[in-house]
Structure formats: C-alpha cells, structure tokens
Amino acid sequence: MLVVMCCSFSTNITNSNWKREIRRKISYLDKYKSNYSVGTIVILVVEVLDKEEISFSSKSQSYCVSFVSMVDSVGFTFQIKDAEKIRKYYSIFINTMAAIARNFGAKIIKNTGTSLVYFFPKTSSTDNRSAFIDVIECGITMIAASNTINEKLREEGGLPSLYYRISADYGSVEVARSITSPDTEDLLVLP
C-alpha cells in the first residue's frame, strides 16, 4: 500500500536520484518502525521536490537559435484514427527536420513533438561568416524538404500533407542546468 501511494505522488519525478531519496527516507521510517501516514509520504515527496528545477550558470553567450514548427497538425491528425499512423506522421517531420539541422551543425535543444528548437554553436562568433550562411542554408533546405516530406507521407498510407514554419533569431542566451537532466546544458533566451 505504501509503495503504491508513494508512486502515485511521485509520478512527475523523473530524476532517479529523487526516487532513491524517497525510497531511502521510507526505508528509514520502516527500519525504525515509525508510524507514518499518507501525510508523511506527501511531506517526504514535497521535501524532495522542493529543490529548484533549474539553476543558471554564469555563462551567457550569443547564438543563432531557430525553431521549426508544424502548422495546424492537431487538425490534420484528428482525421487519422490509427495511432501508428499518427506516430509516423510526426516522426517523419521531426526526424527529417532534426537530420537537416544537424547536417548544418545545429544542436537540438528541444523536441516538442510538433516542433523542434535548435541552435548553431558556431554562431557564437559574429566573425564566423560561414556559420551564419549555414543557418540560412539550413532554413532553405528545410523549406525545400516540404515536397519530399509530403510525398513520403502519401506513401505511408495516404497521410495528409503537412505545413510548417521556420524562425531564426540571434541574441544572448543564458546557460542553465535542469535537475531532471543534469548532464545537459539548456539554453534560455532572455529578453
């Protein structure tokens, strides 16, 4: 009973260290035959969750940050009843865009399922003209891939065509680390 309750309260916890900490505290309660209740478990979970999700480093850098996003994909996928076809619809788009971005030296920051956020590390120096040409060529290549993507969607059982938009901007970003992904640096664009 206790483990089920603990799991139900900790479903949003993805970091294995937090899960270990909860298990350690519950083991302590069990070891000393302490009386505990659901309230105790909630307090344990809240104590562990009270850590800050994100911490900023002192690093600030300017980069070109871009995103490519599907337009009205929910409306199109609403017509598709087969879950496998819906997965195929999104994966064709995301995988194609990610491959193009990486081909031009971009690093993927975030995949939201319907969009991709990425940045170009070589644009940290405004003197590196070829890095900025890569940004432009990446966007043009993504635009040109539209026909290929839509053809592939038709070949995959008549999936509907998709449309997307591409944006790019250059500016200062802050480097941060998230508790849930401590080995990955996140870039946050600040105004």
pLDDT digits (tens, 9 = 90+) for 38-52: 444 444 454 445 556
Say what the pLDDT of residue 81 is.
Answer: 82
Confidence of residue 72 (pLDDT cuts 50, 70, 90): confident
Most trustworthy range by pLDDT among 20-29, 59-68, 126-135: 126-135
Clarify whether residues 108 and 182 are in a common domain. Answer: yes
The pLDDT tens digits for 84-110 are 888 898 999 999 999 999 999 999 988
Clarify whether residues 79 and 147 are in a common domain. Answer: yes
Clarify whether residues 119 and 144 are in a common domain. Answer: yes
> What is the C-alpha to C-alpha distance for residues 97 and 135, in angstroms, rounded to an integer?
13
Clarify whether residues 136 and 115 are in a common domain. Answer: yes
Clarify whether residues 39 and 66 are in a common domain. Answer: no
8 Å CB contact between 177 and 57? yes
Range of the domain at 38: 2-51
Give the count of beta carbons closer than 10 Å to the beta carbon of residue 97. 27
Clarify whether residues 61 and 44 are in a common domain. Answer: no
Least confident span in 63-72, 95-104, 130-139: 63-72
Give the strands of the sheet with 163-178, arranged side by side.
107-111, 115-120, 54-71, 163-178, 181-189
Q: How distant, in Å, are the alpha carbons of 42, 74, 134, 179 from that of 185?
A: 30, 30, 23, 11
Clarify whether residues 33 and 65 are in a common domain. Answer: no
Clarify whether residues 46 and 66 are in a common domain. Answer: no
Say what the pLDDT of residue 186 is.
Answer: 58
CA–centroid distance for 99 within its chain: 16
